[in-house]
Structure 1
Amino acid sequence: MDKMHYARGLVRLSTQSAMAQGWSRAQMLRRVFRPRVLLYGAGLLAITVAMVTSLSVRVPLKVDVVRDRGTLSRIVAGGMVENIYRVQIGNATEVPQHYVLSAAGLDGLRVASDTAVALGAAEDRWVVIRLQAPYGAAAGGSHPVAIEVRAQADPAIQVAAPTTFLVPR
């Protein structure tokens, strides 16, 4: 301002109201730290913390299980009861991953189809899997089971998707 021969203070962090009323720096700070401004700041901070927390604890694997509508359950060779499912596996990481599928919930329950799935970065795919259990392992009806998908490279990345296993009566 001196170099251009202008009055000092033409460029400053202030408001027109503060300049017109001649407020001091302490009065300006008192005006900035009003309850409404503090509440808005606290709200913005809470939203930011919630977003960062949700991003840091998210599981980079998405799994969705859908029963095959064409076949409810059937008895196959070897005296096994078989149910067919379509599993959508989504890799939410930025690197290719290899996943292993397994099942739990009934005695003798096993995956009778291919258990290894390779997905590229940020890719998802539908996979058809067949679950088989011995015919006498459970009474007739619907039984809760879980299809588990686990990353080979990092066992901490795993998801267990609940579904039902039907045994004919």
Structure 2
Amino acid sequence: MTSPCDPQDAPVGDVGAALMMIDSRLKAVYDGQTGAIAEQQELTEQFAASLGPGGVDDLVDGTCTLIYMYMQWLRRTYEEHDRDVIEYVVPNLVATMRMLPKSVRPEAIPMMAGLVIAAGTDLSPNLWRQQYGRWTPSEMTPLEATTFLLAEHINRLTDDRTFATRLITDALSAAEEA
């Protein structure tokens, strides 16, 4: 029986724009540019506003696609070591989000954890989220933070600050060649 949250039925969205946002955020944090982080947030908000409603939906879908792809990579990696991805990723993600009360309101944390769990159990995070209604503006920053934290987790595991970005760009390149 197929699930209504089957990833094959999910919109992919604008993965390139979502990756650009996450990659620039990673670079700003790694370079220790605290002033650049505030500037980056302003640019992100301007970029999102320039997209219009359909563009924002594509960006959100693209961000959910990143979450799915990151969790699939993490799942395979943890399974190679006989570990459960949910057990090793979700508690760390939740604990980190709890330390970011200005960016991630406490009421958004269960939804973000749900997205990650959905992706880690081979469900589409955006289709899983859809059952709760439309995305709210207050969920946009936590969604970006979730994606950022997953990418950073991958980069730490691989001891490579650009691995998570390359993982996606390589997948996009392979998809274009197919």
Structure number with higher strand proportion: 1
Query: TM (normalized to structure 1)?
Result: 0.19
Which structure has more RCO (C-alpha within 8 Å, separation ≥ 6)? 2
Structure number with higher helix proportion: 2
Query: TM (normalized to structure 2)?
Result: 0.19
